[in-house]
A = this chain, B = another copy of it.
């Protein structure tokens, strides 16, 4: 797909590093594999690893940008006048299903076993919540406060996070989104600085 040979080589190097890292991590455990091991096995220099990935933990969450894009896309890519939450609920369902699928099980077992990886995922989720809040706040069809937008974004991310660990993840998504819909309905009503009337500036 990418036209230049340079970009293709770069992508190949990145992919080789990520694949090698994940394989070594799953074989010997995340903590038992050092960055120098990954670099040697992938036949690159240590500095090259860090030019592709910001930190060791990022090797595990290689495709987290898809996550973010899909969530914000559920906000920005909907038809005018269409309500916000059904699309977010649908996307959350898809993400939870993807994470609890059988193929991802060993990876998540590894993540749950490593405090560093869990912490990294936590702050990753908060970044996603920020992006989602920005997308919600930028929607011209919504009249809620910036505070309500940020709160809603956090709630949605929470839904994903809590549901992923629940006994019945799919049911948990629905359960939490039921709560979120109630919260979103009253947002901007009584105690916000903004009036409940749409299209009101400031």
Q: Which residues of A contact B (CB under 8 A)?
A: 118-119, 122-123, 126, 145-148, 150-152, 154-155, 158-159, 161-163, 166, 168, 171-172, 174-176, 178-180, 182-187, 189-193
> Contact: B122 with A151, CB < 8 Å?
no
Q: Which residues of B contact A119 (CB under 8 A)?
A: 119, 123
Q: How many copies of this chain? A: 2
Given the complex of chains A and B, what is the CA–CA distance between A114 and B142 in angstroms?
33
Q: Which residues of B contact A176 (CB under 8 A)?
A: 147-148, 151
Q: Is the interface of A mostly helix, strand, loop or mixed?
A: helix
User: Which of B122, B152, B185, B190 is A126 in contact with, Cβ under 8 Å?
Assistant: B122
User: Which of B154, B163, B172, B184 is A162 in contact with, Cβ under 8 Å?
Assistant: B154
Least CB distance, A191 to chain B, in whole angstroms: 5
Least CB distance, A63 to chain B, in whole angstroms: 21
> Contact: B147 with A162, CB < 8 Å?
yes
* A191 touching B174 in the complex, CB below 8 Å, given contacts A180-B183, A182-B183: yes
Given the complex of chains A and B, what is the CA–CA distance between A152 and B179 in angstroms?
9
Least CB distance, A132 to chain B, in whole angstroms: 13
Given the complex of chains A and B, what is the CA–CA distance between A187 and B176 in angstroms?
8
